[in-house]
């Protein structure tokens, strides 16, 4: 059972270009989380998605950032018109959907991250 797969592992973009980061959750997982890790700042929650549905995007910057998790295919985190400050490691995590009564008793499994460098 493959773990959470993120690609690319490293991505270099010039200022103003678009960055697309992909995350394939573990098999059977229908919940995906995106986190950003900036140096000295730890992990910051960005967005939480289920298939075809954004559940919580309270951590997403208001502009240039968007995320989707289509019915088929990986989750995509898209950053338009990248700036130097977007340089960071972006981690995706997935967790399974269980019964509706207690949904928090699950851990999240993390991918290896995508390191975005904006030059």
Partner 1 sequence: AQSVSQHNHHVILSEAASLELGCNYSYGGTVNLFWYVQYPGQHLQLLLKYFSGDPLVKGIKGFEAEFIKSKFSFNLRKPSVQWSDTAEYFCAVKGRRYGGSQGNLIFGKGTKLSVKP
Alpha carbon 2 to chain centroid, angstroms: 17
Question: Biggest alpha carbon distance in the chain?
Answer: 47
Q: Would strands 75-79 and 114-118 be described as parallel, antiparallel, or unpaired? A: unpaired
Check residue 2 for interaction with partner 1 (CB under 8 A). Answer: no
Alpha-carbon gap, residue 34 to 77, rounded angstroms: 8
User: Which C-beta is closer to partner 1: that of 18 or that of 54?
Assistant: 54
CA angle 31, 35, 37 (to 5 degrees): 160
Cis? peptide before 113, omega within 30° of 0? no
* 101 near partner 1, judged by CB under 8 A: yes
Over the window 8 to 37, marking each residue x when it contacts partner 1 by CB under 8 A and - when it does not, the resulting string is -----------------------x-x-x--
SS3 70: coil
Q: Which of 91, 94, 116, 118 binds partner 1 (CB under 8 A)?
A: 91
With respect to partner 1, which residue has the nearer C-beta, 14 or 100?
100
When binding is defined by CB under 8 A, the residue of 16, 70, 81, 103 that contacts partner 1 is: 103
Of the candidate spans 11-19, 20-28, 41-49, 61-69, the one that interacts with partner 1 by CB under 8 A turns out to be 41-49
For the record, the structure tokens of 38 come out as 């900036």
Q: Contact positions toward partner 1, by CB under 8 A?
A: 31, 33, 35, 40-45, 48, 50, 55-56, 91, 93, 95, 100-113
């Amino acid at each position: 059972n493959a773990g959470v797969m993120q690609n690319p592992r490293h991505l270099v973009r010039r200022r103003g270009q678009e960055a697309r980061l992909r995350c394939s959750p573990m098999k059977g997982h229908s919940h995906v989380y995106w986190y950003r890790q900036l140096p000295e700042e730890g992990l910051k929650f960005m967005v939480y998605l289920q298939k075809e549905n954004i559940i919580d995007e309270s951590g997403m910057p208001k502009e240039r950032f968007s995320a989707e998790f289509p019915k088929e295919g990986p989750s995509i985190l898209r950053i338009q018109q990248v700036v130097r400050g977007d340089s960071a490691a972006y981690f995706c995590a997935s967790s399974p959907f269980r019964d509706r009564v207690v949904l928090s008793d699950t851990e999240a499994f993390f991918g290896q991250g995508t390191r975005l460098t904006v030059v």
